[in-house]
């Protein structure tokens, strides 16, 4: 039996029956990584000896994930394990502490397999912006895995990890999940602690799980969510699993997001809507004009926050420092110029401009007004509807280099995921089929704040109806 093909829940059940051990799981995944990751490139760091040591007593806990390893996006701090954000700026940095989510997973008996590749500091939609390596889509090695959590989605899809923990700022969990045919959840802002997450845009960043099934995703989310005294934005929310009557549900399909999708993506979303309708849900097509400006507002807000958050990497206090320089100003200029990649520098410049004197009101302030308009528009919809069904991405995974030199085309890849992000709403992507070339297509379920369990319940029903097969 190949243990890497089992879901988290299946591994948990086998462990509880003493049919397998955590050491056998760890060995199976390390062997899979050694065999496959040379082609995929999902991992920046593999914790070979550390994984085996941690697995020895991991299955003694009573938790449902005891003895099951996790792979972690490389912008989430892991004590004693290099955390680089896929950047030259942080290359070699070893955190002295674990992020809150890692503490929770370890307390539940999980252990870290390794750290996963990403777009540098989370800025990108293809993982082509990593300063360290290239990650390939497991379905087609000539195509991107999505981003910025491309390594996380690729690792789970290629059976190199049973589940992964990643971050989503404007779609960085959901978009690569759609491209790689896996399940990715961006929880409600504040439902999962960001303590130990290297900040990109603090008012938008959110940590969430990537898995192969919806049930696995719900299991992991319920472990990592909750109040954290070290993150003042976290909320004390109780996620009880209630039975749902799908015949009483009203689900909206937004015409603006459907219009942005390619024909093959649109076809699969329509089929998904039809399946939910046959199960008894009411499906209505609605217009939400406010979200047309969401993408522009997102890039102004996120870049402004990035320019502030990344100011600390100056070669004095944090990050890479050049060896030869004339004075402190020259040292800072050279260190930041060499330490940051092109996309990171582009966003720092955009954010600094948007916050500068004379332009703050015209750009940043106006973007915040658009954000409020989007939040209000979603509030209106959720007074009458339970969920929104939408494409996760406008198309399938694109080829390497196809959009690398066209930043605006790359930014448009986030058009379907950004609206939920700037509204702080939970949104889950799950695979609902493949196109004619066999590339995965994802559907997105968006709910009101803290409606994760409703989203999971409907997603489980849809998953059973679709019967999606992975690699």
Among residues 73, 104, 106, 268, which one is catalytic? 73
Give the pairing type, strands 250-254 and 206-211: unpaired
C-alpha radius of gyration, the chain, whole number: 21
172 is catalytic: yes
Cis peptide before 148 (omega within 30 of 0): yes
Rounded CA separation 58/68 (Å)? 8
Based on the residue annotation, tell me whether 73 is a catalytic residue of this protein.
yes
CA–CA distance, 35 with 50 (Å, rounded to integer): 19
**Which residue in 172, 193, 302, 451 is the catalytic one?**
172
The rounded Cα 352 to chain-centroid distance in angstroms is 26
For CA atoms 105, 440, 172, 184, give the dihedral sign: negative
Q: Name the nearest CA neighbour of 241 among 468, 399, 454.
A: 454
Catalytic member of 100, 110, 148, 193: 148
Is residue 35 flagged as an active site residue?
A: no
Positions marked active-site: 73, 148, 172
């Amino acid at each position: 039996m190949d243990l890497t093909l089992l879901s988290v829940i299946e591994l948990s059940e086998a462990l509880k029956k003493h049919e397998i051990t955590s050491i056998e799981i760890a060995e199976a995944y390390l062997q899979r990584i050694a065999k496959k990751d040379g082609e995929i490139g999902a991992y920046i760091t593999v914790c070979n000896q550390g994984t085996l040591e941690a697995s020895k007593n991991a299955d003694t806990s009573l938790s449902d994930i005891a003895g099951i390893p996790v792979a972690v996006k490389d912008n989430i701090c892991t004590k004693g394990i290099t955390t680089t954000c896929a950047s030259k700026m942080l290359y070699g940095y070893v955190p002295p502490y674990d992020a809150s989510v890692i503490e929770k997973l370890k307390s539940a008996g999980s252990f870290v397999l390794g750290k996963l590749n990403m777009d540098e500091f989370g800025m990108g939609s293809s993982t082509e912006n990593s300063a360290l390596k290239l990650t390939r889509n497991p379905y087609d090695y000539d195509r991107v895995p999505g981003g910025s959590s491309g390594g996380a989605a690729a690792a789970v899809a290629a059976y190199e990890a049973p589940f992964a923990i990643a971050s989503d700022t404007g779609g960085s969990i959901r978009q690569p999940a759609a491209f790689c045919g896996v399940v990715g959840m961006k929880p409600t802002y504040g439902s999962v602690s960001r303590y130990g997450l290297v900040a990109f845009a603090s008012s938008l960043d959110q940590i969430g799980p990537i898995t192969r099934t919806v049930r696995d995703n719900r299991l992991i989310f319920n472990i990592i969510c909750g109040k954290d005294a070290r993150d003042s934005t976290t909320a004390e929310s109780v996620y009880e699993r209630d039975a749902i009557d799908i015949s009483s549900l009203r689900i909206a399909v937004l015409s603006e997001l459907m219009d942005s999708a390619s024909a093959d993506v649109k076809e699969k979303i329509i089929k998904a809507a039809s399946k939910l309708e046959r199960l008894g849900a009411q499906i209505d097509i609605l217009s939400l004009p406010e979200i047309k400006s969401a993408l522009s507002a997102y890039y102004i807000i996120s870049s402004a926050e990035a320019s502030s958050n990344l100011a600390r990497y100056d070669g004095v206090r944090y990050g890479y420092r050049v060896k030869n320089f004339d004075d402190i100003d020259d040292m800072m200029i050279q260190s930041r110029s060499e330490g940051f990649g092109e996309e990171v520098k582009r966003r720092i410049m955009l954010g600094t401009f948007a916050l500068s004197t004379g332009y703050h009101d015209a750009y940043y302030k106006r973007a915040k007004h658009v954000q409020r308009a989007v939040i209000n528009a979603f509030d209106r919809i959720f007074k009458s509807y339970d969920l929104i069904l939408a494409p996760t991405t406008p198309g399938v995974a694109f080829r390497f280099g196809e959009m690398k030199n066209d930043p605006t085309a790359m930014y448009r890849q986030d058009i379907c995921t950004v609206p939920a992000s700037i509204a702080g709403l939970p949104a889950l992507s799950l695979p609902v089929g493949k196109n004619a070339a066999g590339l995965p297509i994802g559907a997105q379920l968006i709910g009101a704040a803290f409606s994760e369990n409703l989203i999971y319940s409907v997603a489980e029903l849809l998953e059973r109806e679709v019967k999606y097969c992975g690699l």
